[in-house]
Amino acid sequence: MNRLIDRARHLPAPDAELTLAYSPIRLPLPGRSPLELRLTAPATGTGLPLVIFSHGYGPSNYIPSKDGYAPLVQFWAERGLAVIQPTHASSRVAGLGPDGPDAPFYWRERVAEMRAILDRLEDVERQAPAVAGRLDRRRIAVAGHSFGGHTSSLLLGATWRGEDFADPRVAAGLLLAAPGRGGAELTPASAARFPFFDVDFRAIRRPVMVVCGSEDDPQFTPRGPDWHADAFHDAPGAAALVTVAGVGHGLGGIAGWDAKETEAELPDALEATRRLSLAWLRGALGGDETDWDAARAALKGPAAGLAVLTEKDA
């Protein structure tokens, strides 16, 4: 029950079910502090699809960590997805600190952390006994917001100056307000500060959905909000682009309730982001595509104006 939403209620979503969460799950890593995780999952059921969620590099102290993004993660988990959230090396609250050689962004370490989770799912399950044996290793997606979208795109197959970071265990991906092309597409100052944005999305062949805000005008490039849609246009596997109306980088509030990352807290836009991403992820991970088909229809009918859906021909 959410009295704050209006048109978004016409987008289909299953009823919420009980969840459970384990935090902090710790994975020791060589030469550094342990990687801390949160695992949120349905309380019942087996063969659960798994989403590994990569947080952004926002202005808050705690949202860029395993403890952020509750509006999105909890919604997914209440409706059938297990979600793992790492506290990345770039996190202010519990990352590797500002003095490391790759600080403050630690973009390579972030990719390595996501891969470490995939390598050690058995260790994760040992620390989360109520979830042990219930995760489907064949149905794994990565999702990321903002800088987390950069991390996720590399695992999905994007290359950086010819270097390949793809992981074959990842079946699908969700890129939320992710960076677009780097290099000459950026302002000179941004190109110098963010050389790791110089990625090539053309090797991404796994199914991907890209979500952007229509008012998300980035400071890194003179191009405007369409910069965040580059992965959709360049990646052969990118199947859908959702442009949420009237919101910027926070997509209505996915990072946290009443958070400074949310430049415009719009419950209907947040709900649209949650429901559309859930419907697409469930279908992409081998589940029922009925909700995604119904969402398409709703965006042309009673939910029209909430978002624009662009799809590539099959």
Q: What is the pLDDT of residue 314?
A: 58
Distance, CA of 87 to CA of 179 (rounded, Å):
20
Q: Is the pLDDT of residue 260 over 80?
A: no
Q: How far is C-alpha 144 from the chain's CA centre? A: 2
Average pLDDT of span 47-69: 95
Range 130-135, long-range pairs (CB < 8 A, 24+ positions) = 130/20, 130/22, 130/41, 130/43, 131/20, 131/22, 131/39, 131/41, 131/48, 131/82, 133/46, 134/41, 134/45, 134/46, 134/47, 134/48, 134/82, 135/48, 135/50, 135/82
Window from 6-20, 256-270, 293-307 with minimum mean pLDDT: 256-270
Residue 167: name the closest of 222, 133, 216, 206 by CA: 206
C-alpha to C-alpha distances, 313 to 69, 233, 239, 310, nearest whole angstrom: 32, 12, 8, 10
Residue 194, both tokens = 């963010």
pLDDT at 295: 97
Name the pLDDT band for 293 (thresholds 50, 70, 90): very high
Give the mean model confidence (pLDDT) for residues 90-110.
94
Contact yes or no for 266/247 (Cβ under 8 A)? yes
Q: Cα 172 vs. chain centroid, distance in angstroms?
A: 11
Average pLDDT over residues 253-274: 88
Give the C-alpha separation, 65 to 182, whole Å: 25
Domains of the chain: 7-311 (3.40.50.1820)
Q: Spell 239-250 as b/e; 16+ CB within 10 A means b.
A: bbbbbbbebbbb
User: Which pLDDT value is given to residue 155?
Assistant: 98
The helix (run of H) or strand (run of E) holding residue 278 is helix 267-284
Mean pLDDT of all residues belonging to the chain: 96
Least confident among 67-76, 165-174, 263-272: 263-272
d(CA 181, CA 197): 6
At 12-46, the pLDDT tens digits run 999 999 999 999 999 999 999 999 999 999 999 99
pLDDT, residue 273, reads 98
Q: What is the pLDDT of residue 259?
A: 76
Whether 88 shows a pLDDT value over 70: the answer reads yes
Tens digits of residue pLDDT in 201-234: 999 999 999 999 999 999 999 999 999 999 999 9
Instruction: Give the mean pLDDT of 164-187.
Output: 97
Residue 1: pLDDT above 80?
Answer: no
* Range 39-55 average pLDDT: 98
Residue 100 has pLDDT above 90, yes or no: no
Query: How many angstroms separate the CA atoms of 255 and 55, rounded?
Result: 9
pLDDT average, residue stretch 240-246: 97
On the question of a cis peptide bond just before residue 104, with omega within 30 degrees of 0, the verdict is yes
What integer is the mean pLDDT of 271-275? 98
**Which residues, in sequence order, are bridge partners of residue 160?**
163, 199
Mean pLDDT computed over 277-281: 98
- In angstroms, the CA 27 to CA 34 distance is 5
What does the pLDDT read at residue 240? 98
Pair of tokens at residue 101: 């050689």
What's phi and psi for 159, nearest 5 deg?
Answer: -110, 155
| Verdict on whether the full-model pTM lies above 0.85 | yes
